[in-house]
Amino acid sequence: MRLALLVLLAAVMTASALISVMGGSTGYTVDQLLAEGQKKHYRVTAKLLDWWVDDGKVYLVLGGEEGRITGVIDEGYLLARYGAAYTFESEVVVEGYYNPSNRTLMVTTILRGCHSAYGQPAASG
C-alpha cells in the first residue's frame, strides 16, 4: 500500500512538471506567449491568419488579439502525416520552441487544425 502511494505521488509530480513545462493542458495563446517572451517549449492555441510553403518549410501566421508570431514547420512532417493535399482549419494547436527575438515558433507538432483535404479526420493529439 505504501509503495503504491509513493508510485502514485511520483506519477502526479511528473505529470504536474510536464504540464507546467508545456504551458498547461490548454497551452498558451499568442498574446500570453508574447507577454511571457521566454525562449522555451510551448503549446500554443491560435487563430491561423495565413500560411504558405517556401523552400521545404511551411510558414504559419498565428494571431492573437494583440499580436502575431510566425510558426515554421518542415513540410516533410506534413507530407508524411497528411499526404500532399494537407489543409488547415482557422484555429490550430501547435507545440514548438519559441524564439522571442524574432517572434518565431519552431513547430515540432501540430496537435489540432491540420488534416488531409481528402476527408481524413483532423489531427486531435
- Any idea where the domains of the chain sit in the sequence? 25-116
Handedness of CA 111, 95, 50, 48 (dihedral sign): positive
Q: What is the pTM of this model?
A: 0.72
What pLDDT score was predicted for residue 110? 92
Does residue 71 sit in helix, strand or coil? strand
For the CA atoms of 80, 124, 73, 87, the dihedral, rounded to the nearest 10 degrees, stands at 70
Architecture of domain 25-116: Beta Barrel (2.40)
Residue with cell 504558405: 52
User: What distances in angstroms separate CA 100 from CA 1, 23, 45, one per listed residue?
Assistant: 47, 16, 17
Task: Measure the CA–CA gap between 68 and 62, rounded to whole angstroms.
Answer: 5
Residue-by-residue pLDDT tens, the chain, 125 positions: 655 544 444 444 443 333 334 444 458 999 998 998 889 999 999 999 999 999 999 999 999 999 999 999 999 999 998 888 888 999 999 999 999 999 999 999 999 998 876 555 555 55
What pLDDT score was predicted for residue 17? 36
